[in-house]
Structure 1
């Protein structure tokens, strides 16, 4: 049965409204996601995003009958909700002054063995943000009635129903114990258990849109709002229903998130920034992450994609990009990125491609993801040499490219009809490629990186 689903997709860089019918993209519109400088700390500009979504829904409703709404959003963001409004701004996870509470927070923070959530910089552990808000913004914190993940904030804003959801609360927050399938000991230690609303599944409807939203957008008053999902887990959904484990999805954008389904959790190591996220069905998934999209942009300076000749020129020159250029994410977040050797401006994209491939390869190896297909989705799919070079380094694994710039939103749209009754478009196989000197280059790069880390 035809059903048009509107997805509110809140990324770190952009916000987007996209309409889907049985997995087919019908309409989309996007805008930059802004961060306000404060006070009381840098925070998401939720009102600009809200205005964008209302305008976009109104525009889309003129030509499409919208039957459901599903929100998806980036991780490491959560909302303290008061009486009908935010009690405190939604903190930007790159706010570094949360370091001021580290001594007190470390005394409460559960061990990695419980949460499978590594200690991350700035506000990338959502529990750390919550502790900062409680201890340093107490006049705002006392107004809070609920604390919800960022996708569920938008679901609440649309429906008026506050809920918790496992993919969001289980995304390196310190607040979830994945093996036990319950909140971690930090929730009680921090004294915030009363703020967490009931758990609901990502694919559960919460209720209809609020009357004022129906009036402002022209949507039917009974349009249901679904609970919503963490964005990387939205990217994973199509493969959970179409593939047998083991397999790994590389969800690429500002962050590169490596999600290995069917992999043991035993090789996860917080020093490598490997961790467990939780899928929409509540199952822990072995993951790794680094800020590949941002690092790619820093290295290239002007963006663009590489070609094979440029890749081979960089390899022959011995020039290297050595981690880390973002200051967060991956095994070498605490080391400063260095460009070694001379590279022509037109070869910067090749250098950045090699860097992102090598970090991905390293993290896959450390996670133990040595078997099963590799499916690349997101922005790096447009860089064919990224896909081909990763495949050349891992010849025992097949590489596929999900040629879909709307993978996160498309996956989220599936939640309005779960499990889906329609087939998803299969990712395209990436043909194997031979790159002269690549294996030697990897060995040299790895040796240098190992020295830097000591």
Structure 2
């Protein structure tokens, strides 16, 4: 059967899938690779190990007798550059976007370019240090000019992986468009600082995400996509009326492809940003660190009630517990106006666990607090746009308490738990559909479960 291979490279899990023409997964492999460290001893992806793993998996796929490999594409985490020389060799480690950014260098940069507020609004990029991947290039140029001279191209990770197979260097809009400080969203072109600093020529030409590079035996290779932008593709293909996708994992990201109002500085300060779809349309997004918070608080609950960490997996939505907790809280603890930043701190952090009789009651309170934060965050991107549905995918979509409370919080919107195996991998396969798959795309790629409020 004809298949497309998708390499889905997360920060921890590296996966490869084969999808058939109906977009069912017919073969997969995954691995966790050991990190290495950069010259400052900071942990980072080992680019050689990753490269070898990909090439080994490809040889393995080509040996499989019952599949005909028609196309390959990549979806990977963002904000990460590989710097290559004339011969295509990488010149530096793959620096980690979590690495601290030198304060002095950062302040100098923003001073040069009209200050944080003006710059952040133009580039739809909150000030995030190394997470603004353009700042990584700036740092290399300033701290290591001799090495920077040798750089032929700066490639975001998905494009580097494509380059490994095609030896053709391109830039993709989904990687540039995601809080990188590189793109002027008002003018829809690179920000002028890149030209001023002599960086623009080191960015290869932009290539449409739906087009492929044809290799020997007619194998089509995509140029790769940023995983957050890739994950939304199955939804935009399947649903035309306005929706928000709430993608949950370590971060809960609310993505609204139907809100094209420019970001304000206040929204940027509240962790809103823009992603770019492969069709070059911006997607307004708001992030909340709630998967991480859930893990921290679940540990705290497990220790306090002396139960196993994953006890929450057996706690189901209980209306009675919720109304009791609401009655109590409404009278005492928090008035609705918080005296702290609800987007940065979960109210549950301040709660005294000894006031809860059981684990189950305490866990319901944690979910009430997390959903309270989520409503604030998601409303930032729903604001003034005609959203009719919210689709929740990832970890929280399987949590009945989270889903019921969210449905209740948005009475005018239909709330669905969406399950789809591997959204970002599927998105990368669908992006290049026309280049390998003669069949029409089916409209049953996503399983939905409706939650009444």
Corresponding residue for residue 393 of structure 1: 409
- Tell me the distance in 1 between the aligned counterparts of 2:238 and 2:112: 41
Cα displacement (A) at 1:345: 5.7
Q: Is the 8 A contact 1:169 1:176 kept in 2?
A: yes
Q: What is the alpha-carbon distance in structure 2 between the residues aligned to residue 155 and residue 42 of structure 1? A: 24
Unaligned runs of 5+ in 1: 210-220, 322-329, 434-454
What is the deviation of 1:295? 2.7
Aligned to 1:442: none
Q: 1:55 & 1:413 partners in 2: Cα distance? A: 21
**In structure 2, C-alpha distance between the alignment counterparts of 1:239 and 1:58, rounded to whole Å:** 32
2:378 aligned with 1:364: yes
CA positional deviation for 1:19: 1.1
Counterpart selection for 1:187 from 194, 199, 223? 194
SS at match of 1:251: strand
Cα distance in 2 for residues equivalent to 1:356 and 1:335: 7
Report matched runs for 1:281-296 at 5 Å: 281-296=279-294
Tell me whether 297-306 or 90-99 shows the greater mean CA deviation.
Answer: 297-306
- Check if 1:113 corresponds to 2:121: yes
CA contact 1:115–1:175 (8 Å) conserved in 2: yes
Aligned: 1:85 with 2:89: yes
Structure 2 Cα separation of the partners of residues 170 and 233 of structure 1:
9
Q: Please say if residues 72 and 234 of structure 1, whose CA atoms lie closer than 8 Å, have aligned partners that are also in contact.
A: yes
Q: Are positions 1:42 and 2:43 aligned together?
A: yes
Number of residue equivalences: 412
Q: Which runs of 5+ in 2 are unaligned?
A: 300-308, 335-340
Q: Whole-Å Cα distance in 2 between the matches of residues 68 and 370 of structure 1?
A: 37
Q: Where in structure 2 are the equivalents of 1:251-270 lying within 5 Å?
A: 251-266=247-262, 268=264, 269-270=267-268
- 1:125 CA displacement: 0.8
- Deviation at residue 314 of structure 1 after TM alignment: 6.6
Q: d(CA) in 2 for partners of 1:84 and 1:280? A: 25
Distance 1:173 1:150 in 2: 13
Superposed, which structure 2 residues align to 1:417-428 within 5 Å? 417-418=433-434, 421-424=440-443, 425-428=445-448
Separation in structure 2 between the aligned mates of residue 273 and residue 34 of structure 1, nearest angstrom:
31
Task: Write out the 4+ residue segments of structure 1 that deviate beyond 4 Å after TM superposition.
Answer: 313-321, 330-337, 343-352
| SS of structure 1 residue aligned to 2:83 | strand
- CA distance change for structure 1 residues 331 and 353 in 2, over 3 Å: closer, same or farther? closer
Distance in 2 (CA, whole Å) between partners of 1:90 and 1:336 is: 37
What SS class does the counterpart of residue 308 from structure 1 fall into?
coil
User: Distance between the aligned counterparts of 2:376 and 2:230, measured in 1?
Assistant: 25
Shift of 1:53: 2.4
Q: Deviations over 1:261-307 (max 9, x none)?
A: 22142464211111221111101121111233333222223355342
Which deviates further from its counterpart, 298-307 or 227-236? 298-307
Superposed CA RMSD in Å reads 3.0
Contact 1:248 1:258 in 2 (8 A): yes
SS at match of 2:170: coil
**Correspondence 1:327-366 to 2 at 5 A:** 332-333=343-344, 338-342=349-353, 350=364, 353-366=367-380
Aligned counterparts, 1:169-318, within 5 A: 169-208=176-215, 222-266=218-262, 268=264, 269-301=267-299, 302-303=309-310, 304-305=312-313, 306-309=315-318, 312=322
**Aligned 8 A contact 2:242 2:386 in 1:** no
CA displacement at 1:320 relative to structure 2:
9.8
| CA shift in 2, pair 1:12/1:108, >3 Å | farther
Show CA shifts across 1:217-262 (max 9, x none): xxxx653211111111111111222222421111222322211122
Give the C-alpha shift of residue 412 in structure 1: 1.0
SS in 2 for 1:111: helix
Please tell me whether the aligned partners of residues 257 and 288 of structure 1 are also in contact (alpha carbons under 8 angstroms).
Answer: yes
Structure of larger gyration radius: 2
State the distance in 2 between where 1:137 and 1:242 align: 47
Residue 208 of structure 1, CA deviation: 2.4
Q: Deviations over 1:53-86 (max 9, x none)?
A: 2333344442532211100111211221223221
**2:77 matched to 1:74?**
yes
Give the TM-score taking structure 1 as reference length: 0.81
Q: 1:27 to 1:353 in 2, by over 3 A?
A: farther
Quote the residue 1:218 is aligned against. Answer: none
